[in-house]
Amino acid sequence: MYLTEEHIHSLLSFIGYGDVSKAQIIFLGNEGGLGDRSVEDNIASICFTYKENVNHCVHGDWTKGYWKQDQWKPGREVRVPRSPFLRLCSRMILALEHPDQPIHSWFQQADHNVIQDVKRFLMEGGLFTDRPGIQTALLDWRPLPRKREADPLPYDNINQKSYIDAFNFFDRPNNNPYIEWRTKRLSLFQDLMKSYPVPLILGIGNIPAKKRMVDGIWGEQIYEEITLQPSGKKIAISKNIIGDNTRVILTPFFGYEHMGYSGVKDLAQYISDHIELR
């Protein structure tokens, strides 16, 4: 697919899913996926349909950032995505919403009741919607969606290596044209976080690039490296409150082979013990 200047302008302004203005937890991912739709359909939705709702635009202006928010639909039955990321996020949110129950009970892989609760949560739109409870949003650092990160970018006029290098802060050579994209994206995220302070940002995957991104938004940060117990998974936590009462936690990717059930369980316990989701 060929991206026009209009496409690119919109893609650089589209930040992700969920109402950022009300979010208590922002999941900060690497890039958006395509779901079950074609790249052309995704680009059409992002670049045209999603920015029609001024209530989902920063200060009513899509050029300053805009998002897509779905509605919570109790009782809805649809096919549940197979995404390990979404399933692990769901277990974590459900665990945090039920302080009367042990955190670990939500991460029992073979517990039929938990499996059904997670399935229903996803079918009804538990993540990144207007559902009551803990409000969540998903922001993507890189603006171009593709089916999987392992796949080539499906855009005819994009140099994949230069694009990825720029968003990973590899600035050799320094005439990389996508550095300008990164600068615009950083400025947008910076204004977004000033407009809508959030208690917790969870940077998922590619920790070195996420650190540089956070530094670009709030200035250089110092992190405390923590080994979660008993899983042994390593995370990085901003030592100081950032901005207006925001804490940043950087973790490996929420995949079964990365953080896995045990790592996300320990992370949920840490959040429950140490982070106030006001």
Distances (CA, A) of 223 to 36, 40, 129, 208, 220: 38, 40, 31, 12, 10
- Three-state DSSP class for residue 204: strand
- Considering the domain boundaries, does residue 211 fall inside one? yes
- Considering the domain boundaries, does residue 24 fall inside one? no
174 falls in which pLDDT band (50, 70, 90)?
Answer: confident
Q: What's 24's DSSP letter?
A: S
The predicted structure's pLDDT at residue 81: 81
Q: Is residue 4 domain-shared with residue 58, that is, in the same domain?
A: yes
Q: Is residue 136 domain-shared with residue 53, that is, in the same domain?
A: yes
259-278: per-residue pLDDT in tens? Answer: 999 999 999 999 999 998 87
Q: Is residue 232 domain-shared with residue 110, that is, in the same domain?
A: yes
Q: Is residue 52 domain-shared with residue 141, that is, in the same domain?
A: yes
| Bridge partners (DSSP) listed for residue 182 | none
Of the residues 159, 177, 195, the one at which a domain ends: 195
Q: Is residue 278 domain-shared with residue 169, that is, in the same domain?
A: no
Query: In 3D, which of 254, 41, 31 has the Cα closest to residue 148?
Result: 31
Q: Is residue 154 domain-shared with residue 49, that is, in the same domain?
A: yes
Which of 48-52, 85-89, 192-196 has the lowest average pLDDT?
192-196
- Considering the domain boundaries, does residue 23 fall inside one? no
Supply angle C-alpha 94, 33, 36, rounded to 5.
90
- Considering the domain boundaries, does residue 258 fall inside one? yes
CA distance 193 to 27: 13
Q: Can you tell me the mean pLDDT for 62-73?
A: 95
Task: Give the burial class of 203: count Cβ atoms within 10 A of its Cβ; 0-12 exposed, 13-18 middle, 19 or more buried.
Answer: buried
Q: Is residue 139 domain-shared with residue 114, that is, in the same domain?
A: no
Please count the other Cβ atoms lying within 10 Å of the Cβ belonging to residue 125: 18
- Considering the domain boundaries, does residue 40 fall inside one? yes
The predicted structure's pLDDT at residue 56: 95
Q: Is residue 206 domain-shared with residue 256, that is, in the same domain?
A: yes
The predicted structure's pLDDT at residue 36: 85
The predicted structure's pLDDT at residue 43: 98
Contacts of 116 (CB under 8 A, 6+ apart): none
Query: Does 243 score more than 80 pLDDT?
Result: no
- Considering the domain boundaries, does residue 203 fall inside one? yes
Percent of the chain at pLDDT > 90 equals: 81
227 falls in which pLDDT band (50, 70, 90)?
Answer: very high
Query: Does 149 score more than 80 pLDDT?
Result: yes
CB-CB contact of 103 with 228 (8 Å): no
The predicted structure's pLDDT at residue 173: 72
Domain count for the chain = 2
Structure tokens at 137: 């949003």
241 falls in which pLDDT band (50, 70, 90)?
Answer: confident
- Considering the domain boundaries, does residue 217 fall inside one? yes
Query: Does 11 score more than 90 pLDDT?
Result: yes
Q: What is the pTM of this model?
A: 0.94
Note down the domain range covering 62: 1-18+29-70+128-195
